[in-house]
């Protein structure tokens, strides 16, 4: 473990407060209406048991308030900050999505410009629209040998900062969905040397801080703020995330107010308790647990390379040679040689092998491992892949992972276009030269090619027409992508 064992970290104040409340069988005259689970549907209760519903309470002194914490939640957030070595941590109940929005609103004023890596989650666009900033996009490179989108590099950020010295902040995502971690310390140092705020979406990296075999995390690198989905890799329930604050450049009270503005006033306390418990678990057992997950993932990677000729996985060394690092707990399996798409293999895995993946596209399958993963899961998975590669033979396709040049003019702020009613739909061909009024993101590679406020180029339109033959484009409003929304003045 990277942190010295701290006895405080054995405590789980919020979980304990809820447990003590649940055990007292209090007569409830508070929300929610199910009254300690009494009126929860029987079929559901038969499956889940009754106990968890006693944790579903509302704000009162014993369990504290998420919006104005003075007791158990305050202590639990303090222990979270201590575990990650940051100044403050805030619990989130609408995932990293809400954390990303909050970071934009807290770090920037309307009209500021911010350098943003283009392969960002859709909540980043929401943050840009809500905050009224000018995004300066960095287009990540694509590797057509690995069929992979790289992370943003130090050089790309340096170039952007040199070209746009007025930028107030930099926003990047690390690790990427495939587990690719960029040169965080170098990027953070550069930003701070230039007086810029650095914000990191670390949705997939809440575990990195607790195992030395894993790449550097955003908190270790010294990011001003980062957000982690505690539910993605650690053991908290879905929707649970944490915003870590470690800045000299931003006012924490502003961050707190914004986070409070964006979150429900009825947070689910069962969810909040799992954030508290997940922190204790990863602090005390993260090294051991992730040693095992890493071993299982590496075993799976090596099994695939040795035994499944039509599939391949890149490893940490392959990625390090390219200047990045890899969270090896993520398994990306390239399946292009099978002649099947990742979607087809994903369906076969679900239908015939009872295995569910997090993501698949034309080229790759992504198996996300978490604190609860074990070697047996990986064995079942790779044996299923081996079986599939023997049973199914598709026709070799000539799909190529590509993206047009997105170095186009940002004519209006995304917020202005988003809030405007002066829009209409035109055929893709007729959109050339107009200002985009919608987001369109082909998967793969998951990089938006149209952003509200940007000038639409012929290259982008040709690309959209070509791609829409094979894949569904996120943001398209009809079965086939035939039109795009433009701004009309």
Ligand X SMILES: Cc1ncc(COP(=O)(O)O)c(C=O)c1O
Binding site for ligand X (CB under 6 A): 95-97, 121, 123, 173, 177, 201, 203, 229, 241
Closest residue to ligand X, Cβ-based? 95
DSSP labels, 204-255: T-TTGGG-TTSPPPHHHHT-SEEEEETTTSSSSPTT-EEEEE--SSS-HHHH
Buried b (16+ CB within 10 A) or exposed e, 120-143: bbebbbbbbbbbbbbbbbbbbebe
DSSP labels, 381-414: HHHHHHHHHHH--PPPP------------B-S-H
User: Shortest gap between Cβ of 370 and ligand X (angstroms)?
Assistant: 13
Nearer to ligand X, 227 or 406 (CB): 227
User: Shortest gap between Cβ of 126 and ligand X (angstroms)?
Assistant: 11
The encoded tokens of residue 290 equal 């992730």
Nearer to ligand X, 412 or 439 (CB): 439
User: Shortest gap between Cβ of 479 and ligand X (angstroms)?
Assistant: 25
Cβ–Cβ < 8 Å for 363, 336: yes
The encoded tokens of residue 101 equal 């929005």
Alpha carbon separation from 384 to 237, 305, 324 (Å, rounded)? 28, 14, 30
Nearer to ligand X, 99 or 222 (CB): 99
User: Shortest gap between Cβ of 274 and ligand X (angstroms)?
Assistant: 13
Q: Could you identify the residue written with the tokens 């027409």? A: 465
Nearer to ligand X, 201 or 460 (CB): 201
Cα 439 to Cα 420: distance, rounded to the nearest angstrom? 15
Nearer to ligand X, 117 or 408 (CB): 117
* Edge-to-edge strands, sheet with 169-173: 88-92, 241-245, 225-229, 197-201, 169-173, 113-117, 134-138
Alpha carbon separation from 1 to 5, 81, 208, 320, 403 (Å, rounded)? 8, 16, 11, 23, 41
Nearer to ligand X, 206 or 428 (CB): 206
User: Shortest gap between Cβ of 340 and ligand X (angstroms)?
Assistant: 25
User: Shortest gap between Cβ of 153 and ligand X (angstroms)?
Assistant: 17
User: Shortest gap between Cβ of 91 and ligand X (angstroms)?
Assistant: 13
Nearer to ligand X, 123 or 389 (CB): 123
């Amino acid at each position: 473990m990277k942190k010295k064992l701290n006895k405080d970290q054995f405590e789980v104040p919020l979980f304990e407060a809820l447990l003590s409340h649940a055990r007292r069988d209090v007569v409830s005259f508070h929300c929610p209406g199910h009254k300690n689970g009494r009126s929860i549907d029987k079929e559901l209760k038969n499956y889940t048991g009754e106990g968890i519903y006693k944790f579903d309470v509302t704000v009162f002194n014993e369990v504290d308030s998420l919006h104005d914490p003075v007791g158990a939640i305050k202590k639990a957030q303090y222990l979270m900050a201590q575990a990650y070595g940051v100044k403050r941590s805030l619990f989130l109940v609408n995932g990293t999505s809400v954390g990303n929005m909050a970071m934009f609103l807290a770090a920037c004023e309307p009209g500021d410009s911010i350098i943003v890596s283009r392969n960002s989650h859709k909540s980043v666009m929401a943050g840009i629209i809500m905050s009224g900033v000018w995004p300066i996009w960095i287009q990540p490179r694509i590797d057509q040998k690995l069929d992979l989108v790289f992370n943003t590099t130090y050089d790309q950020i340096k170039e952007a900062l040199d070209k746009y010295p007025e930028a107030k902040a930099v926003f990047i995502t690390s690790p990427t969905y495939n587990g690719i971690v960029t040169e965080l310390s170098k990027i953070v140092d550069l930003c701070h040397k230039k007086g810029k705020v650095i914000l990191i979406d670390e949705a997939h990296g809440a575990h990195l801080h607790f195992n030395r075999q894993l790449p550097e995390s955003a908190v270790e690198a010294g990011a001003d703020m980062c957000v982690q989905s505690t539910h993605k890799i650690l053991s908290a329930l879905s929707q649970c995330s944490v915003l870590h604050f470690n800045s000299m450049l931003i006012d924490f009270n502003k961050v707190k107010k914004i986070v409070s503005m964006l979150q429900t006033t009825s947070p689910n306390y069962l969810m909040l308790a799992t954030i508290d418990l997940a922190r204790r678990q990863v602090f005390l057992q993260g090294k051991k647990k992730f040693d095992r997950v890493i071993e299982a993932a590496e075993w799976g990677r090596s099994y695939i390379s040795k035994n499944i000729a039509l599939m391949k996985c890149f490893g940490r060394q392959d990625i390090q040679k390219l200047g990045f690092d890899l969270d090896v707990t993520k398994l990306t399996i390239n399946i292009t040689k099978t002649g099947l798409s990742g979607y087809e293999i994903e369906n076969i895995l679900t239908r015939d092998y009872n295995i569910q993946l997090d993501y698949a596209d034309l080229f790759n399958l992504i198996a996300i491992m978490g604190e609860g993963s074990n070697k047996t899961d990986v064995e079942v998975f790779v044996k299923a892949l081996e079986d599939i590669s023997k049973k199914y033979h598709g026709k070799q396709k000539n799909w190529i992972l590509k993206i047009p040049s997105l170095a186009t003019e940002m004519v209006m702020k995304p917020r202005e276009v988003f809030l405007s009613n002066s829009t209409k739909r035109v055929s893709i061909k007729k959109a050339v030269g107009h200002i985009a009024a919608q987001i369109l993101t082909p998967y793969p590679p998951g990089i938006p090619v149209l952003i509200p406020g940007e000038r639409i180029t012929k290259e982008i339109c040709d690309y959209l027409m070509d791609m829409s033959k094979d894949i569904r484009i996120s943001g398209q409003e009809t079965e086939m992508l035939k039109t795009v929304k433009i701004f009309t003045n």
